[in-house]
């Protein structure tokens, strides 16, 4: 049973001091590693870890080929300005190979989990002799996994999986009592810039959570471009999260007077406090029209754009 700390009860200074002490005590004279994805959770953990361990913490950014456009360089730059050096590890081929031919959503998630924790991370940890992995699991990740809704990529103990036995290292999860709002507050208190602590959530399986059916390089390119258009257009409107989803079905469209059997992008934009429930944002129709026009213009192969108007539940925030 995890003791939830609600935002209203969170003493940020005390929380940070306590976690820094716990991380130092757990790692002792050893070294630790953490994977920074650039999301709020892993960014907050990176700052906590560096406070606790300094040079004894190695922070890596796994380039899995499933990230947003320009993400690795963007994150490296931000953390450099905070005095934290990030190592970028190119594992694109491994992830794409692992995802080949898989269409089932849970199997896709499982393939990403295994590739990340067992193959890529297992190797890094073995080579570095680190005994601990710091990661930014939050309470919502645990809830949804335990409830059997979605197998979040970063939940183990609650499923009866012992990381030490399975992967060969211990996992430290300093944010597990918090939800997203609490993590943002702690991230801000740790000195993260607003573009990070206020950043919309992004799932561990990254763009693979937004591709229905098999994940291929070509589909990743399409969803990556569409994500870029959607994020540019919908940022600054106060929505909780917004995204582009690439559907597997094709639909007949027309381009330059010719039939074009093309791809469909579904835009989702959510109002939510903690991701447990969510409602679609009532975007002005002109914004939706502009989104559609920009997506079909800027994303090759797309002939149809739709907007999701279903609440969570029964929908979930991501599509996979
Ligand atoms: P769903 O799609 O389950 O998403 O309604 C709830 C929130 O969690 C994010 N999400 C994930 N975060 N690992 C994560 O760290 C995951 O595997 C994962 N799947 C979904 C999602 O973006 C939303 O904010």
Q: Collect all residues with Cβ–Cβ distance below 8 Å to 252 and sequence separation of at least 6.
A: 259, 260, 261, 262, 303
pLDDT, residue 216, reads: 97
Find the mean pLDDT for residues 21-46.
Answer: 96
- The CATH number of the structural domain formed by 211-307 is 3.30.300.10
205 lines ligand 1 (CB under 6 A): yes
The answer, yes or no, to whether residue 122 has pLDDT greater than 90, is no
Q: pLDDT value at position 35?
A: 92
Class of domain 7-197: alpha beta
Question: Which of 36, 201, 270 should be mutated for ligand 1, with most atoms under 8 A from CB?
Answer: 201
Distant-in-sequence, close-in-space partners of 39: CB < 8 Å, separation ≥ 6: 136, 199, 201, 202
Atom of ligand 1 nearest to the CA of 312: 5
For the purposes of burial, counting CB atoms within 10 Å of the CB of 260, is it exposed (0-12), middle (13-18) or buried (19 or more)? middle
Q: What mean pLDDT is predicted for residues 177-206?
A: 95
Å from CA of 48 to ligand 1 middle: 22
The tens digit of pLDDT for each residue in 227-278 reads 999 999 999 999 999 999 999 999 999 988 999 999 999 999 999 987 889 9
| Atom 22, ligand 1: residue with shortest CA distance | 203
Segment 192-238, tens digit of pLDDT = 999 999 999 999 899 999 999 999 999 999 999 999 999 999 999 99
Structure tokens that stand for 186 in this block: 């702690």
pLDDT at 8 over 90: yes
* The model's pTM: 0.88
Q: Evaluate: CB of 145 within 6 angstroms of ligand 1.
A: no
* Domain parsing of the chain, residue ranges: 7-197, 211-307
């Amino acid at each position: 049973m995890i003791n939830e700390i609600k935002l209203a009860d969170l003493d940020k200074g005390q929380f940070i001091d306590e976690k820094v002490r716990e991380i130092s005590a757990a790692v002792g004279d050893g070294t630790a590693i953490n994977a920074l994805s650039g999301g709020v959770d892993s960014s907050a953990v990176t700052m906590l870890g560096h406070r606790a361990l300094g040079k004894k913490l190695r922070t890596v950014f796994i380039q899995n080929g499933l990230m947003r456009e320009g993400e690795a360089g963007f994150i490296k730059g931000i953390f450099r300005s905070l005095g934290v050096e990030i190592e970028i590890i190119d594992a694109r081929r491994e992830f794409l190979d692992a995802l080949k031919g898989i269409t089932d959503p849970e199997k896709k998630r499982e393939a990403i989990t295994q590739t990340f924790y067992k193959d890529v991370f297992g190797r890094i940890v073995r080579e570095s002799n680190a005994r601990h992995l710091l990661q930014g699991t939050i309470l919502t990740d645990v809830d949804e996994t335990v409830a059997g809704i979605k197998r979040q990529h970063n939940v183990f103990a609650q499923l009866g999986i012992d990381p030490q036995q399975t992967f060969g290292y211990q996992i430290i999860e300093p944010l597990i009592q918090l939800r997203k709002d609490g993590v943002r507050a702690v991230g801000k208190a740790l000195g993260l810039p607003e573009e990070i602590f206020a950043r919309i959530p992004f799932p561990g399986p990254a763009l693979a959570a937004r591709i229905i059916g098999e994940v291929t390089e070509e589909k990743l390119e399409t969803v990556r471009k569409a994500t870029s258009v959607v994020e540019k257009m919908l940022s600054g409107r106060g929505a909780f999260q917004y995204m582009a989803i690439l559907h597997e079905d094709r639909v007949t469209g027309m381009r330059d007077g010719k039939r074009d059997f093309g791809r469909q992008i579904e835009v989702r934009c959510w109002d939510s406090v903690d991701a447990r429930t969510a409602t679609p944002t009532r975007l002005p129709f002109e914004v939706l029209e502009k989104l559609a026009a920009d997506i079909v213009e800027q994303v090759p192969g797309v002939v149809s754009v739709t907007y999701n108007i279903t609440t969570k539940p029964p929908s979930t925030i991501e599509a996979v």
